[in-house]
Copies of this chain bind each other. A is one copy, B any other.
Amino acid sequence: MLTKRILYIICLLSGIILRAQNREELNLLPAPQSVVIQDGLFHLTENFSVGIHTSSPDPILVQYVNRIYQSLNRRSGSYFKQQRISAKDNSDTATLQITVIKTQLPVIGADESYSLSVTANRVNLNTATTSGALRGLETLLQLLVQKNDGFYFPAVIIHDEPRFAWRGLMIDVSRHFIPVDLLERNIDAMAAVKMNVLHLHLSDNEGFRVESKVFPQLQNKGSNGEYYTQAQIRELIAYAESRGIIVVPEFDMPGHSKSWFAGYPELASASGPYEPGPPVNFHSVQQMSLGSIMQLVNTAPFPAMDPTKESTYAFLDKFIAEMSVLFPSPYIHIGADENNGVVWKNNPAIVDFMKKHNIPSTHSLQAYFVSRVKKILDKYHKQMIGWEELFSKEISKDVTVQVWQNGAYTKQALDNGNPVLISKGFYLDLFMPAYIHYNNPDIPAQLPDSLQTRLKGGEAAQWTEMADRNNIETRIWPRAAAVAERLWSPATVKGEDDLYRRLFKLSEQLDDIGLQHIANYERSLRRIAPDDYTSFKTLTDVLTPIKGYKKLFAALMKPETMSFQTSPLIQVSDIVPVDSKMKWAFRWAVASYLKNKDSISGNIIRNYLMSWKNNHEELSGLFAKSSIARNVEVHSNNLSAIATIGLDALNKIKEGKTYDSDHLTKTMDILKTAGGTEGETELCILPEIESLVKQKISPLPETYPVF
């Protein structure tokens, strides 16, 4: 009971702090380009009604308006009289007036701007296109506030448009298959934060995930039976389209393609047979180190298509012809990443071909492959996208380069005249806190105008070696919203405190519309600790997964977790959110207390620390019984120890004392020990305990190591 009320008070507190910094108390995420708060409130009552004004029928708009209308109805409990909005409802006296100039299906580069004004009696939403209206409606929904026994929109004038035209989320559905309903939930969440591209990584070594009628062994032999039928793909695309989102398919080639070869070994550069699965035997690496992994990556014969055979291109021509119809998006992503060329060098026929055609390197051979595939895409009127390795100076200027690892590619590709997408710094599978993505240095604050338009935007990326249908929502949300804001809002919108305040509000909104990011975390805790749920949650609420590739590498080394598709992702490190809400509630209390020495913050901090201090003894029964819980037992003990330190530090502050240098050294040693990794998780409140000890709020680290 206590912690919930604490959190409430904390939110009030953080609000006060933020207002003191002249930030507005709206919960908009992403923040609009311009917001002017007026006096007054629009009161949501049963008489709330909608009039739509369009020059031509706009069924997507009408559907969207109904969804937002019902969301407002549900959240406010107003029992709106209008019940359903039809295209014919164009009354000038309706309290929400929506005017859209041009009916338009979602496209990259559409005018997504909108103007939204709220007065005490009327809401006006004016936009150039359908897409703009969808964005504006989401803003209106986020404006809803509950206070003084009612639900309101604050009076505002908002003008908004996106900074970047391409605001994507990439989901890898190959390593772990992600069912359609789950993708649809992600689309709902994307729409809530004004993202507009769902990029599906549909094939990789581990699985081929879309039905081909032309080459049915792609999905039949290239997957474990889990793939999208063409009917499902069409349904998914329609679902996305009606939320202002386009679906861009990726078929990774020439590397990352082992699953293709299970059914069609003739495509491969080395003889088969093949089965979908990891490209090499990772756990042959004896010692987990960056060096040994990198050596493997550079020297292992990763499966790749044979770029020297005409039959390969004949196959791809037919395949792309089919997929071009299935996916109406003007873009096809061909991957082209992480092909080390070893398998090509190992094949004498390919080496001969290179000699014969004066192809000096495997990188050049890949460029040749890309140029051939480019011709196929041209034939079917599709624009090519690929990961950064596809770039070469000779590449056609209409190929979009997606930068994921080497930031130097951004400048090179832009200078070369190629459009660029940034995913470097947006890899959600690296378990980094949201603010790290938010402050992504690879999104330049400013670019010369000549390059600005070529930088199309970026994409958050969720690879799924360590994520499956049971935890992927907790992995993506709400963190992806930080990426969404970085890509939508002006570069001047900054500040971790305000980001996290809004991010946890957004998390509630996504929970309300059915996202499973909270429910799945709690569900997993019930599985691990059915009889000790609350105490175990007190611990896990302040645990986060270790950052970077450490968790993946640890898994790669273990034979039992090697098979990405069947190993259960059930450890604490698999289920806890990357950003801890408790950490931020505690941090805000510590910051407030250190600044103001107020008793409210002091009591909040004390209550937290007391609950942590006394939690360990509650869990002895669980640790005796559950090996999964036991993997984080050391943290439980440490949490108790550092809470004791925190209480001591709090007393010192009250008494106006500080730590002497010996005591400080010893204390910091304990904190350092408590900062260790257990069960691939770490305690996330150490900086705040340290802040109490040092009586100064610790800044957040600007980066964390990826390896």
- Partner-contacting stretch, out of A152-160, A562-570, A685-693: A562-570
- Partner-contacting stretch, out of A438-446, A451-459, A521-529: A521-529
Inter-chain contact B568/A628, CB cutoff 8 Å: no
Q: In the complex, which residues of chain B have a beta carbon less than 8 angstroms from the beta carbon of A567?
A: 79, 83
Q: In the complex, which residues of chain B have a beta carbon less than 8 angstroms from the beta carbon of A563?
A: 83-84
State A571–B80 Cα separation when bound (angstroms). 15
Interface residues of A in 487-541 (CB under 8 A from B): 508, 511-512, 514, 516, 518-519, 522-523, 526-527, 530-535, 538
Inter-chain contact B560/A146, CB cutoff 8 Å: no
| Chain A interface, number of residues (Cβ within 8 angstroms) | 67
Inter-chain contact A508/B522, CB cutoff 8 Å: no
Inter-chain contact B181/A531, CB cutoff 8 Å: no
19 extra interchain contacts, Cβ-Cβ under 8 A, other than A74-B527, A81-B560, A148-B625? A3-B534, A4-B532, A11-B531, A70-B566, A70-B568, A73-B566, A77-B628, A83-B563, A83-B567, A147-B625, A149-B624, A180-B181, A229-B235, A231-B231, A508-B526, A511-B523, A512-B523, A512-B526, A516-B519
Q: In the complex, which residues of chain B have a beta carbon less than 8 angstroms from the beta carbon of A184?
A: 181
Q: In the complex, which residues of chain B have a beta carbon less than 8 angstroms from the beta carbon of A530?
A: 508
Interface residues of A in 21-41 (CB under 8 A from B): none
State A514–B46 Cα separation when bound (angstroms). 35
State A570–B184 Cα separation when bound (angstroms). 23
Could you tell me the distance in whole angstroms from the C-beta of A436 to the nearest C-beta in chain B? 27
**Chain B residue with Cβ nearest A84:** B566
From A80, A232, A531, A561, residue with most partner B Cβ within 10 Å? A531
| Shortest 6 CB-CB contacts between residues of A and residues of B | A181-B181, A8-B531, A231-B231, A79-B560, A519-B519, A74-B568
**Chain B residue with Cβ nearest A6:** B531
Q: In the complex, which residues of chain B have a beta carbon less than 8 angstroms from the beta carbon of A46?
A: 560
25 residue pairs A–B, Cβ–Cβ below 8 Å: A3-B534, A4-B531, A4-B534, A5-B532, A5-B618, A11-B531, A77-B628, A79-B560, A79-B568, A81-B560, A146-B625, A147-B625, A148-B625, A149-B624, A149-B627, A180-B181, A181-B181, A231-B231, A508-B527, A511-B523, A511-B526, A512-B523, A512-B527, A519-B523, A522-B522
State A7–B624 Cα separation when bound (angstroms). 19
A272 at the interface (CB under 8 A from B): no
A583 at the interface (CB under 8 A from B): no
Interface residues of A in 1-21 (CB under 8 A from B): 1, 3-5, 7-8, 11
From A229, A508, A568, residue with most partner B Cβ within 10 Å? A568
A225 at the interface (CB under 8 A from B): yes
**Chain B residue with Cβ nearest A76:** B568
Q: In the complex, which residues of chain B have a beta carbon less than 8 angstroms from the beta carbon of A565?
A: 84
State A231–B236 Cα separation when bound (angstroms). 13
Chain A contact residues, majority secondary structure: helix
Q: In the complex, which residues of chain B have a beta carbon less than 8 angstroms from the beta carbon of A231?
A: 229, 231-232, 235
A412 at the interface (CB under 8 A from B): no
A224 at the interface (CB under 8 A from B): yes
Inter-chain contact B519/A568, CB cutoff 8 Å: no
Q: In the complex, which residues of chain B have a beta carbon less than 8 angstroms from the beta carbon of A527?
A: 74-75, 508, 512
A63 at the interface (CB under 8 A from B): yes
State A147–B621 Cα separation when bound (angstroms). 11
Inter-chain contact B534/A1, CB cutoff 8 Å: yes
Interface residues of A in 197-244 (CB under 8 A from B): 224-225, 229, 231-232, 235
Q: In the complex, which residues of chain B have a beta carbon less than 8 angstroms from the beta carbon of A11?
A: 531
Could you tell me the distance in whole angstroms from the C-beta of A613 to the nearest C-beta in chain B? 13
Q: In the complex, which residues of chain B have a beta carbon less than 8 angstroms from the beta carbon of A146?
A: 625-626
**Cross-interface CB contact of A533 among B4, B74, B235, cutoff 8 Å:** B4
**Chain B residue with Cβ nearest A46:** B560
State A120–B75 Cα separation when bound (angstroms). 54
**Chain B residue with Cβ nearest A628:** B77
State A79–B508 Cα separation when bound (angstroms). 34
State A3–B77 Cα separation when bound (angstroms). 31
**Cross-interface CB contact of A8 among B8, B514, B532, cutoff 8 Å:** B532
**Chain B residue with Cβ nearest A3:** B534
A522-B522, A526-B511 known; A74 and B570 CB under 8 Å? Answer: yes
**Cross-interface CB contact of A224 among B79, B84, B470, B522, cutoff 8 Å:** B84
Could you tell me the distance in whole angstroms from the C-beta of A484 to the nearest C-beta in chain B? 22
State A522–B470 Cα separation when bound (angstroms). 18
